[in-house]
Amino acid sequence: MIDFNKAYDILDKYNQTHILKYFDELSDSEKESLLNQIELTDFSVLDFLENNNCVSSRGDIRPLGAVTLDEINKNCEEYTKHGLEVIKNNEVGAVLLAGGQGTRLGFDKPKGMFDMGITRNLYIFQCLMNNLLDVVNKAGVFIPLYIMTSEKNNKDTVDFFEEHDYFGYDRNFVKFFIQDMAPSADRNGKVLMESKSCISLSPNGNGGWFSSMVRAGLLDELKEKNIKWINVFAVDNVLQRIADPAFVGAVSLSGCQSGSKVVSKASPDERVGVLCLEDGKPSIVEYYEMTEKMRTMREENGRLSYNYGVILNYLFSLERLEEIVNEKLPIHVVEKKIPHMNDEGELICPETPNGYKFETLVLDMVHMQNSCLSYEVEREKEFAPVKNAVGVDSVDSARELLRKNGIEL
């Protein structure tokens, strides 16, 4: 382990020596713990604050069409048949991204533990497991499910699954792995502290899921199981179709290296990332990166040219994931509410965003693919995100959509 002087030098390089302000007051074990944190933390992410957001300038952006709902309806039988064969061959695994802190929802447990039910319990995790079980029942095989948690929520998540007997899933097909953390900083770029001996660390975004899986030793298992495709999805879409046979079939038959579920934009101004082409490769452009012209441009048939919004449900080939595992993803600087210790040593839980977290995002992995099948799904049937407590993409709007899909609450 590094000593005080070494820790000071590291911090000095990044203008963060305030982290050692209370060092003399700490017990031996706290001192050891803080030095350990300093050694393990990657402070280089702070450099990205200077550029505000490092996402490098964009290449040549062009629209990318999708396999539309009409085409999918026409070919549904063929896609589903093929997809089911791939699933029955045990070639599909699923990864649930559940390491986020869900600060917008303001629920103090892992988001998946939130209860969507009204007259009965219906937890978000339960909704997802029910959806996955639909496919298991059709295919007659269990799909290996890997759940990414963070150090902050791993225990709660694992205990919850245990307590609920994996919601009827075969527990032998469920594994948990823990993602990495990154420091968070205040508006002046100073790393926040949770206590005198504890740096405020937060999960480093959902982009590191595959490298974290590899570090957790799960690559060998994926290979032993002969998994070829991994369906990555977010915890908060309660209508999420996981390992959807028609989607798996369509991507596999298309010869594309990856696939993304998309929904038609509700309006030109909808705040959603759009799947398009950048320098001839698939890529996602965030709503705030789009020019007015891009937002409103239409094709001859009247459809928006940049029409297909991503819903965080991707299918990646394991072969490609292995090829890109060491490639660096861009770092995004995100404003969040970050609990921290103030100058008086009290823990503050802010009501509004007070600083920055540093995240890599799974959507940037799409640009590392040579091709991506954009696969349209019906928003009302497959997209009910629970991001906020009220308003847009909230518990209420998701409940409404669950009801519309015949799910008793």
Chain contacts with ligand UTP (rule: CB under 6 A):
97-105, 148, 179, 203-206, 234-236, 336, 359, 387
Angstrom CA distances, 392 to 63, 113, 228, 380, 384, stand at: 27, 20, 36, 14, 10
Cβ nearer to ligand UTP, comparing 179 with 283: 179
Q: How far apart are CA 174 and CA 133, in angstroms?
A: 13
274 closest CA partner among 258, 257, 291 = 291
CB atoms within 10 A of CB 170: 12
Report which secondary-structure segment, H or E, holds 144. Answer: none
CB of 98 to ligand UTP, least distance (A): 5
Q: Least Å distance between CB 61 and ligand UTP?
A: 22
Q: How far apart are CA 395 and CA 387, in angstroms?
A: 8
Minimum CB separation of residue 8 from ligand UTP in Å reads 29
Residues 41, 16 contacting (CB under 8 angstroms): no
In the complex, the smallest distance separating the C-beta of residue 239 from ligand UTP, rounded to whole angstroms, is: 14
At its nearest, how many Å lie between ligand UTP and the CB of residue 116?
15
Token pair of 299, please? 């094709």
Smallest distance, ligand UTP to C-beta of residue 106, A: 8
Return the number of the residue (42 or 77) whose C-beta is nearest ligand UTP. 42
Taking the least distance from each CB to ligand UTP, the nearer of 254 and 397 is 397
Contacts of 45 (CB under 8 A, 6+ apart): 182, 183, 204, 331, 358
> Closest residue to ligand UTP, Cβ-based?
100
The distance of closest approach from Cβ of residue 363 to ligand UTP in the complex, given in angstroms and rounded to an integer, is 10
Closer Cβ to ligand UTP, 139 or 329, answer by number:
329
CA atoms within 13 A on the CB side of 28: 0
CA 244 to chain centroid, in Å, comes to: 18
Decide whether 203 or 355 has the Cβ nearer to ligand UTP.
203
Name which of 65 and 330 has its Cβ closer to ligand UTP.
Answer: 330
Residue 41 or 179 having the CB closest to ligand UTP: 179
Residue with tokens 């085409």: 71
Residue type for position 392 = V
CA nearest neighbour of 182 among 150, 214, 210, 157: 150
